[in-house]
Amino acid sequence: MPLAAYSLGMTHPFTPKLDSFGTVEIHYAELNDYENNCYVIVDTVTGSALIVDAADAAPYVLRLLDVANDAALAADRPEIQPVGILTTHKHPDHWQALGEVRDDLGVPTLAGAADAAEIPVPTDRPLVHGDEVHVGDLRLGVIGLRGHTDGSVALSVVSSDAAPRLITGDSLFPGGIGNTWDDPARYEQLLTDVVERVFRRFPDSTVFYPGHGLPSTLGKERGFLNRWRLLGGLEAANPALDAYSPEG
């Protein structure tokens, strides 16, 4: 059925975008008027692809795969072979199309272990901080970011000849961390994880892609970390302690 035949509840056009670097392509698009993003991470050497957040409108998710496949065929590369669907966290707006897409593709599902029980589609591979997800020759790092939910996970995509990319779900946005519903302990936990596991581990050139809306870079956001602390009722810290530290 043509895509135009679906009534998908989005008032603006479905507009896939592409970030291409090294042997990686990240195809992404908003799926609804809540600006829920879906990502398709492609290893261009093998054609293997991971879907991140089948958030809504299965036809759009599948169309995004078609867009990735069209790009592969146009470049005379291997056709796209989906290897899994990863859900960044348990909130329904991030898995509304998960069951339909999983059934269509017949691939395994992945999610943070602490959130998996509350995602109605069974999770084939529960993830914890420090895990790796293999997508062809790519090794994607799993970053646990607790606070928005207990099992929220981000992904790192690192290439030797380009700035790192992160898929951050609803844990990190341009302008601040994710919603913690006025819970001071959750706010402190999420900000601590974001600082220790993201800002101190990755350089300013790192591009991050959130669960809703537009991407940003860590360099644009790093200077606001103390503002984010103060907004959460926390004490400011020495900015030097927030610097990128490749040694860990």
Q: At which residue do the structure tokens 């960044």 appear? A: 88
Whole-angstrom distance, CA of residue 244 vs CA of residue 248: 9
Amino acid at 205: S
Report the pLDDT value the prediction gives residue 9, as an integer from 0 to 100: 65
Which residues, at least 6 apart from 38, have a Cβ–Cβ distance to it below 8 Å?
A: 28, 29, 31, 51, 52, 53, 54, 55, 60, 61, 64
pTM of full prediction above 0.85 = yes
Domains of the chain plus CATH, in order, are: 15-239 (3.60.15.10)
Report the pLDDT value the prediction gives residue 160, as an integer from 0 to 100: 84
Report the pLDDT value the prediction gives residue 3, as an integer from 0 to 100: 39
CB 48 within 8 A of CB 136: yes
Whole-angstrom distance, CA of residue 158 vs CA of residue 160: 7
CB 31 within 8 A of CB 56: yes
Report the pLDDT value the prediction gives residue 7, as an integer from 0 to 100: 39
In this predicted model, what pLDDT tens digit does every residue of 163-188 receive, in sequence order?
A: 999 999 999 999 999 999 999 999 99
Whole-angstrom distance, CA of residue 78 vs CA of residue 62: 18
CB 129 within 8 A of CB 88: no
Closest listed residue to residue 111, CA positions, set 122, 93, 123: 123
Whole-angstrom distance, CA of residue 41 vs CA of residue 155: 10
The DSSP element (H or E) to which 99 belongs, if any, is helix 98-105
Whole-angstrom distance, CA of residue 49 vs CA of residue 208: 19
Report the pLDDT value the prediction gives residue 110, as an integer from 0 to 100: 99
In this predicted model, what pLDDT tens digit does every residue of 191-205 receive, in sequence order?
A: 999 999 999 999 999
157 - beta bridge partners? Answer: 165
Closest listed residue to residue 50, CA positions, set 35, 28, 32, 31: 28
Token pair listed for 53: 């957040």
Beta strands in 3-66 (DSSP E): 17-21, 24-30, 37-43, 48-52
Mean per-residue pLDDT pooled into runs of 10, the chain (248 residues): 46 94 97 95 98 96 98 98 98 96 98 98 98 98 98 95 96 98 98 98 98 97 98 97 85
Q: What residue spans of 25-97 are helical by DSSP H?
A: 58-74
